[in-house]
Amino acid sequence: MQKKKNVAIIGQGRSGRDIHGTYFLTEEAKKQYQVVAVVDKNEARRKRAEQAFNCCVFEDYKQLFNMPQIDLVVNSTYSYEHFPITMDLLHHGFNVVVEKPFSKYAMECEQMVRAAKEHGVMLTVFQQSRFAPYYERIKQIIESGKLGTIHEIVISFSGFARRWDWQCSQRYYGGALLNTGPHPMDQALDLLNTDEMPTVFSSLKNINSAGDAEDYAKVILTYPDRPLIEVEINPADAYSDYTYKVSGSAGSLKATQKTIKWKYFDEKPLPDLVLESLTGEDGVSPAYCSETLVWHEFEENLEGSAFDKGTAKFYQNVYAHLTEGKPLIIRPEKILQQIRVAELIHAQNPADMKF
């Protein structure tokens, strides 16, 4: 019989309650985990958590230091609190799952990675979109080689939306790049498949946000012998109809998070270059390059999302790591690369802090 891991959740906001908390209440999660403590500054949220999990509740996360046995702490606090709270937890010997963004600054991420190693504990970042059904299937199709050599990948997390919450504040480490951005940026860097720094072009804007942080981001990543990858987060796109577009030498793919359409043609050598004027069948009339390609076309519907199946796979990997020593799929060192890229993007697009 599997030994359950005791979990403490810090924060009962949209992430701590609606994502992590919702998962830990599933029958699947209860086979591996048991929530024994919840921390939140809001009394009403503490009471609700106490009823939902039948667990201890605290106002201050430091009260966890007196708990007899906690195997894992989920840090789902405000983004600007990720670094100081995670560091404190690591120094007290806790295994930690920290919400995205890892932090705003690479130096802080480096300190967290180093602290985890020094204290012999686990540290990972909640990048569950790496396990999203649509992403896993898209990556599988790309790696099959059927689309040929991949030249360009466009990832769009766009739609029409206006915001006025704390995620609009630079002081709170908000903004599109650190809020929505960690999902497509993690996927983009995974597909780029290098731990080296890519070349980065970027543009950040504030279009539909009440705060001083960006809500629009356009990022282009390049690296030798890799496809160009474009990431877009656009809050003013009322006609957004795809999440992924993949262009290859033998086919293409277009996908939302629920449906994937892709096609490729049978291998056929490219005709040799002809420098003379092309002619039609009569040998006189001008002609344009024309050929018949045999296409194989597919459409697939997907079940589940990053928030259910993705979360489950993330925590299954964490459990396997804690109980069997299996490697973490979401390595903090890889997420450190993401923060280095994000830090460069912010440097390329300086913005005054107004609030």
DSSP category for residue 258: S
Query: For 268-322, what is each residue's pLDDT tens digit?
Result: 888 999 899 998 888 888 899 888 899 999 999 999 999 999 999 999 999 999 9
For the domain bounded by 5-129, which CATH number is listed? 3.40.50.720
Instruction: Mark residue 21 as left, alpha or beta (left: phi above 0; alpha: psi -120 to 50; beta: remaining).
Output: alpha
C-alpha to C-alpha distance for 182 and 127, rounded to whole angstroms: 7
**Cβ neighbours, 10 Å, residue 188:** 22
Query: For 170-224, what is each residue's pLDDT tens digit?
Result: 999 999 999 999 999 999 999 999 999 999 999 999 999 999 999 999 999 999 9
Domain boundaries along the sequence of the chain: 5-129, 132-308+338-348
C-alpha to C-alpha distance for 315 and 137, rounded to whole angstroms: 20
C-alpha to C-alpha distance for 157 and 177, rounded to whole angstroms: 11
Return the top range by mean pLDDT from 65-69, 166-170, 192-196. Answer: 192-196
* Structure-block tokens of residue 304: 């589940």
Query: For 1-20, what is each residue's pLDDT tens digit?
Result: 579 999 999 999 999 999 99
The pTM (predicted TM-score) of the whole model is 0.94
Q: What is the pLDDT of residue 283?
A: 86
Which is it for strands 5-10 and 33-39: parallel, antiparallel or unpaired? parallel
DSSP category for residue 309: I
Q: Specify whether domain 132-308+338-348 bears CATH 3.30.470.10.
A: no
Give yes or no for a contact between 127 and 100, defined as CB atoms under 8 angstroms apart.
yes
Q: Report the percentage of the chain scoring pLDDT > 90.
A: 90
Q: Is the pLDDT of residue 130 over 80?
A: yes
C-alpha to C-alpha distance for 89 and 76, rounded to whole angstroms: 13
* Structure-block tokens of residue 256: 């939302």
